[in-house]
Amino acid sequence: MEKERISNIQLFLHLSGFLFGSTVILSPARGAKNDAWLAILLGGAGGVLLTWVYAALATLNPSKTLVDILREKFGNIAGSIISVLYIWYFIHLTSLVMRDFGEFICTATFPQTPMIVVIGLFAIVLVYVVNSGIEVMGRLGELLVPVIPIVIGIISLSLITTHDFTAFLPILENGMEPVITAAFSFISLPFGETVVFLMLFKHLNKTDKLKKIVIVTAIISVIMGVLVFFRDISVLGSDLVTRATFVPHLVSLLIPGLNVEPLVDINLLIGGGVKISVCIYAAARAVSQVAHIDDYRKLTGAITTFCVVLSLWEYENQIEMFNWAEKVWPYYSIPFQIIIPLLMLLLSLRSGKRKSTAS
């Protein structure tokens, strides 16, 4: 288990899949309406910084997982307690993504299927994938993640006739405030969640390029986000973008003479699958480390089952889900995504300095 390695390109694809995962459905930046692209750029800049913090943390503490770092910096007991909180955070994140996925499928594609069937089926597949180990996850990502940009390309190109390229004007109609709020949500929704990767970074076979990969990935996904936003807004117009439940789905329905609805499902399944599998893996590894269990595979089944139940239980309806994702989740995540990692980074920098001065 310890020997399992993922390559740079596998990490790159996994991270991009992760960043793109549920933004296919939920785009927290759309609170800023026409100016969401500004919010994406601003939030993206913050997100790149944040991912840099995680990468720096991983390079300063090579071959250590999040749990190891927490224990080292905060002491065994406090570290373990914070680890348990993180485990909860990962599990919660998994269940949220599962719910996003289930909501989408049950609304857009299979209105008559109970959500538990959809989520449960998906979860079984993902347990199989996660139990195959990080190496197999990496390789699977290599095969599947490249499908996402291809699908986005197909949809965007077939929509080229329906574009209205002035739809994003006027700029800053409502002032800066909604942009900043949306940007903040955007930092936390895809980028801050990459804190899960702190459980994975140690499996990278060449750690020297870690920071570069992470930053490149973050920048690429920001660019993708902006492009997709421009596509959406020039096809739908600002009013529809704000009001539509599932923007990419609605966009794909507008292709003249062709219905590519299942392609959006594919994207969601791959992106969401990457995201959920990484989260489950991280949660299971963290539990196994905290509780000193030799093999995380014993835990994946239980953790996933819990996530499935949690995902069905946590919202009453879609409105609540969107509300939560845009208004509560960013603040709920602050300690996990920003405060604790920054604290750890500071502590690692200090101890690194002490080490260098001592030597």
Partner 1 sequence: MVRRVKKPARIKTETRIPAHKYISSDSNLPVPSTVDEVKTRLSEIFSCCSDFIQREISCGKNRLIKIVVAYLNGFVDKRILNQDVIRPILDFLSNAAMNESMSISEQLKECVVVNNDIKEACNMQQAVDGIVSGEALIFIDGEETALVIGVKAPQGRPVKEPDTEISIRGAREGFVENLLTNTTLIRKRIKNPNLKLEMMQLGKQTKTDVCICYIKGIANEEIIGEVRRRLKKIDIDSVLDVGIIEQYISDSKFSLFPTVGNSEKCDKLAGKLLEGRIAIFCDGTPQVLTLPYLFIESIQNTDDYYDHAIFATVIRFLRLTALLLSTLLPGIYVALVSYHHAVIPFRLMITLAASRQGIPFSPFIEAILMIIAFELMREAGVRMPKPIGQSLSIVGAIVLGEASVAAGIASNLMVIIVSITAICSFVVPPLIRVIMLLRFTVLLAANLMGFLGIIILIVVVFAHLCRMRSFGVPYMAPFSPLTSADLKDSFVVVPIWAMVTRPGILRQEKAEGAKGTKRQEVMLNSDVQKD
Let me know: does 308 contact 98? Beta carbons within 8 Å: yes
Which is closer to partner 1, CB of 39 or CB of 123?
123
The secondary structure element, H or E, covering residue 245 is: none
Smallest separation, CB 254 to partner 1 (Å): 13
Q: Could you give the CA distance from residue 8 to residue 2 in angstroms, rounded to a whole number?
A: 18
Q: Minimum Å distance from CB 126 to partner 1? A: 9
Q: Is 144 exposed, middle or buried (0-12, 13-18, 19+ CB in 10 A)?
A: middle
Is the Cβ of residue 10 or residue 95 nearer to partner 1 in the bound state?
Answer: 10
Instruction: Give, as one character, the DSSP assignment of residue 188.
Output: I
Buried b (16+ CB within 10 A) or exposed e, 191-206: bbbbbbbbbbbbbbee
Please say which residue, 88 or 110, places its beta carbon nearer to partner 1: 110
Kindly state the smallest distance separating residue 175's Cβ from partner 1, in Å: 41
- Minimum CB–partner distance for residue 302 and partner 1 (Å): 20
State the minimum distance, in angstroms, from the CB of residue 133 to partner 1: 8
Rounded least distance, CB 270 to partner 1, Å = 8
Closer of 40 and 129 to partner 1 (Cβ):
129
Instruction: Give least dist CB 6 to partner 1, A.
Output: 9
User: Residue 42 or 278: which CB sits closer to partner 1?
Assistant: 278
Residue 291 exposure: Cα atoms within 13 Å on the Cβ side: 14
> How many Å apart are CA 307 and CA 197, to the nearest integer?
19
Contact footprint for partner 1 (CB under 8 A): 7, 9-10, 105, 109-110, 113, 118, 121-122, 125, 128-129, 132, 136, 138-140, 142-144, 257-262, 265-266, 269-270, 273
Q: Are 292 and 141 contacting, i.e. CB atoms less than 8 angstroms apart?
A: no
- Residues 199, 200, 203, 206, CA torsion sign: negative
Closer to partner 1 by CB, 35 or 265: give it.
Answer: 265
Q: Identify which of residues 119 and 307 has a Cβ nearer to partner 1 in the complex.
A: 119
Residue 127 near residue 300 (C-beta atoms within 8 A): yes
